[in-house]
Amino acid sequence: MGPYPSSPIGARRTGDAAHPATGLPARADVAIVGAGVIGLAIAWRVAQAGRSVAVIERGAIGSGASLAATGMLAPAAEHEPGSDPLLPLALDSLRRWPGFRDELQAASGLDIDYRADGTLVLALGRDEVERLRFRHDLQRRSGLTAEWITGTEVRRREPALRPSVTAGVFCPLDHQVDPRLVMAALVRACRAAGVALVENSPVTGLDRTGGRVSGLRTAEGAIAAETVILAAGAWSGEGGLLPESLALPVRPLKGQSLALRTTRQTGTLTHMVWTEQVHMAPKGDGHLIVGATVEERGFQAGVTAGGLYALLEGARRVLPGIEEMEVEAVWSGFRPTSDDDAPILGAIAPGLVAATGHHRNGYLLAPVTADAIAALVTTGAMPAVARDFSRSRFAHASRASA
């Protein structure tokens, strides 16, 4: 069974004006390491600001987490104890999404299946209801829009759910997109803006001139750049590229997901639906995405029987119709997770900028990240909403615990 996600550009082109015959331009104003949703969104915004941009990707575009994601824009459903510091950034980015969507669809000519139907978070049984009450109270205290609804009301909104659903929380402002369409649109928008996209070219080192990062090296050669942006997702914390003094506390958090093919006979969902075990996201092409496991497995790729069983059983527990749906694809990916589950944004050395560690929120945070990093490149400063997410916060935490 082939994977559902696929690279939005396929094999690297060499005849395109944005792709020199060598596959790697000799120089660019900005060189970005990593072609996931964060790297491409930044590249597009920086190119729109008039800078020349090259994006260098170790594998296929989107192959780390971006094409393995569900595409949730869900700050309310995602909110949990300890995540209040991230909430202003998340809500700011959600407000930017409609404009980002409109610009991206206009620049690419592609619809990204932006859905504003909201999220239903469900509970079955007394214990889950108590935990959901706690979650709802947290959402309300944090100023989020979240409505407590009865099991009867849940089933009125989603008739295909089991009668055993006891209660729910409806988050009307949580939206979603189709990651495959967003990535394809970003590739088109980047190309139209003159961005050079280079796949299958791992970065092996950084060049420095006079104490400043001045470019990077790959097996194909070197590229000189005024600014290098590290947006390599789960690989941003790998040793070798950065000296120990600049190491980023980012690790891979594996997730397995599957795509079910729905039909008129099987029915499907209208909203994103979350339980304590899984989340399910209906897409405009008829797929129902079920995700995602959370596994500390390093870079151990692949799909396991245990992972698939957990996903299918978690979905079947609330949606009996999945028994008749075809399993069209299964896959795994690696979330880029920082030590506090929040992104790392901003300059980490002269000429070197980080934009990584977005955990489960890469799609949600793409607009605000792209705008913040583009502002840093063009004006020398990020907007206030992004400034608390510098790498320096981890040094402060280390000193406080010493």
For the domain made up of 116-174+252-338, give the CATH fold: D-Amino Acid Oxidase; Chain A, domain 2 (3.30.9)
pLDDT tens digits for 262-299?
999 999 999 999 999 999 999 999 999 999 999 999 99
Answer whether residue 400 shows pLDDT above 60.
no
pLDDT tens per residue, range 165-176: 999 999 999 999
Q: Is the pLDDT of residue 332 over 60?
A: yes
Output the pLDDT for position 141: 96
State yes or no: pLDDT of 18 exceeds 80: no
Percent of the chain beyond pLDDT 70? 93
Residue 75 reports pLDDT greater than 60: yes
Average pLDDT over residues 53-60: 96
Return mean pLDDT, the chain: 92
Residue 193 pLDDT exceeds 80 = yes
Whose tokens are 């791992």? That residue is 202
- Using a pLDDT cut of 90, give the percent of the chain over it: 89
Band (pLDDT 50/70/90 cuts) for residue 220 is: confident
| pLDDT attached to residue 4 | 63
State mean pLDDT over 368-395. Answer: 96
Pick the CATH number of 1-115+175-249+339-402 from 3.50.50.60, 1.10.10.10, 3.40.30.10, 3.20.20.80: 3.50.50.60
User: pLDDT tier at 238 (50, 70, 90 boundaries)?
Assistant: confident
Going by pLDDT thresholds of 50, 70 and 90, the confidence category of residue 135 is very high
In which band, very low, low, confident or very high, does the pLDDT at 1 lie, cut at 50, 70 and 90?
A: low
Instruction: Kindly report, as residue ranges, where domains of CATH 3.50.50.60 are found in the chain.
Output: 1-115+175-249+339-402
With 70 as the cut, is the pLDDT of residue 83 above it? yes
> Does pLDDT of 65 surpass 50?
yes
Please check the confidence at residue 364 and state whether its pLDDT lies above 60. yes
**In the chain, where does the domain assigned CATH 3.30.9.10 lie?**
116-174+252-338
Q: Tokens 């690696």 correspond to what residue?
A: 334
Mean pLDDT of the region 202-207: 95
pLDDT in tens, 98-130: 999 999 999 999 999 999 999 999 999 999 999
For position 396, what pLDDT does the model report? Answer: 57
pLDDT above 80 (res 10): no
pLDDT band, very low/low/confident/very high, at 19 (cuts 50, 70, 90)? very low
Q: What is the mean pLDDT of residues 68-80?
A: 96
Q: What is the pLDDT of residue 20?
A: 39
**Tokens describing residue 233:** 């997702």
* 293 or 12, which is more confident: 293
Question: How large is the average pLDDT for residues 155-170?
Answer: 97
From first CA to last CA, the distance across the chain in angstroms is 50
User: How crowded is residue 17: how many other Cβ atoms within 10 Å of its Cβ?
Assistant: 8
pLDDT of residue 8: 62
Q: Which of 70, 66, 50 is nearest to 9 (CA)?
A: 66
Measured in whole angstroms, the distance separating CA 315 from the mean position of its chain's CA atoms is 22
Which of 12-21, 141-150, 357-366 has the lowest average pLDDT?
12-21
Res. 401: pLDDT tops 50: no
